[in-house]
Amino acid sequence: MSVPTPHISAAKGDFAKTVLMPGDPLRAKFIAENFLENARLVNNVRGIGGYTGTYKGKEVSVMASGMGMPSMGIYSYELFHFYDVDHIIRVGTAGAIHPDLKLRDVVAGMAACTNSSFVKQYNLPGDYAPIASYRMLRAAEEAAKEKGVDLVVGNLYSSDTFYDDQTDVIPRWQKMGVLAIEMEAAALYMNAARAGKEALAICTVSDIPLTGEGCSSEERQNSFTQMMEIALETAIRL
């Protein structure tokens, strides 16, 4: 496949080596307009806005991934393989299941459990553990510390189902110490591993399923700036 791809209209060289990937295209637009200098639109196929600009003098891109592992799988694969992107930082939302977490806490996925069959394509002779780049995770911890943010590091659960017919899923993952549920990190980590690239998921707690607490869609889009700043500060360290 050559560029542009079926899903990205950008030309070769339009993306920086590091790309921030929120799920929401409007969050990508918010990051570009509020944090990047001289941001330009390089992709808008299917409304998935991709932008490239500079942050503190370093070129950085931001593009939405859409929702779920199939969507993340497509966009991250094409960025890694056809646009020479080396690092992807997911900046998303997650539902907290660890009892110590509260709304707006920021978590980083050291690893990502999953119920997805995404890994089956690799035909491995056992179970695979999708993990983040340690170098990126360490950079994110340093950035969070400088910002005075308590970055909670641990295991995420990447689910293929938002509305799950099984009602006892959360307690079973909770007893294994999983921090939060989201829907993209595991596929991103596997794509990065297969491509020989690096990835990290940083998420803001947007809801707590067991209590019913949650943030509005506007808050999710525009107000999770601590996570965005940590990701950008991580990007300039790479």
The set of catalytic residues is 207
CA distance 188 to 72: 6
Q: Is 59 helix (H, G, I), strand (E, B) or coil?
A: strand
Helix (H) or strand (E) holding 32: helix 25-35
C-alpha 83/C-alpha 50 separation (Å) is 13
Other beta carbons within 10 Å of 52:
23
Task: Tell me if 90 sits within 8 A of 66, measured CB to CB.
Answer: no
E-assigned strands of 33-136? 37-43, 50-55, 58-63, 87-96, 106-114
The one-letter code for the residue type at 75 is: Y
